[in-house]
A = this chain, B = another copy of it.
């Protein structure tokens, strides 16, 4: 049970977590904080939060749990602004899609409170944003990856685990840099590829016709290009080094495939497609177990 929760950034993720905890009676008071007072007033109106503060330092005072749910680019500044105001027993966590940058910022900003900072990443979301898009079921059955470090307090890890499990998320822990590599591969790179493909086609020729004749695969492939441009730029910048590494590997493999196609090397092409199909089918079989 959280006595007072401070949610910094009451958007899709922060708002959904507040709604989910409240619905289950897992929280006493919820204090919101954010840059847009209109959004905060709306959050009160929707009963997502009880009240709000516009200063992060004021918002976290008296809170036993602080959830930072702002963009990755703003997380460092928030950590610096709340550092001196955090209660000595409060647990602090975040929800960012990249973790190395957040952990490093927390280490340099939080001082003695760093031990009670547990970096987290709920693998959940929609293409919408803002408190109006939030809903209490968002995390149910979804994974939340926590990336504690050697110094992290075990009680703090337990508290954050307990919070997420309380809203029916599946919590696992992972090494910070490993998290960033895995997410670069499975989420950040696919978004970059989808944006690039759609932009590349849209920039050239009769875009309407291209889309009109699109088959199923293309529709699936490009749906993720409807996500927030600002948010995905923020994520890509925050996870730049892991993303550039996997992007380079992808580019080399794609160049290799183009060379095989140019050479008419069907054996090489079929071998690669088969390996991919096997990996994908194995995943599918496992997922449907």
Contact = CB atoms under 8 A, between A and B. Distances in A.
Interface of A: 123, 143, 145, 181-183, 185-187, 189-205, 207-218, 220-230, 232-233, 236-237, 240, 243-244, 246-251, 253-255, 257-258, 261-262, 264, 266, 269-270, 272-284, 286-287
A171 to B, nearest CB: 13
Nearest to A264: B237
Contact of A213 (B182, B212, B244): B182
Contact of A273 (B200, B204, B229, B275): B229
B220 A220 contact: yes
B244 A258 contact: yes
A272 B201 CA distance: 12
Contacts of A207: 279
Contact of A280 (B222, B236, B248, B258): B222
B213 A237 contact: no
28 contacts: A143-B213, A190-B221, A193-B197, A194-B217, A194-B221, A195-B273, A195-B277, A196-B257, A196-B272, A199-B273, A199-B275, A202-B275, A204-B249, A211-B286, A220-B224, A222-B283, A225-B277, A226-B277, A228-B277, A229-B274, A236-B261, A236-B269, A237-B264, A240-B262, A243-B261, A244-B261, A247-B261, A251-B258
Q: Classify the secondary structure of A's interface with B.
A: helix
Q: List the 9 closest A-B pairs by CB distance, nearest first.
A: A229-B273, A202-B279, A217-B224, A211-B283, A198-B276, A220-B220, A199-B276, A186-B214, A200-B253
Count of chain copies? 2
A241 to B, nearest CB: 10
A184 to B, nearest CB: 10
B201 A270 contact: no
Most buried by B among A205, A212, A273, A275: A273
A210 to B, nearest CB: 6
B192 A280 contact: no
A81 B26 CA distance: 75
B198 A279 contact: yes
A269 B233 contact: yes
Nearest to A267: B233
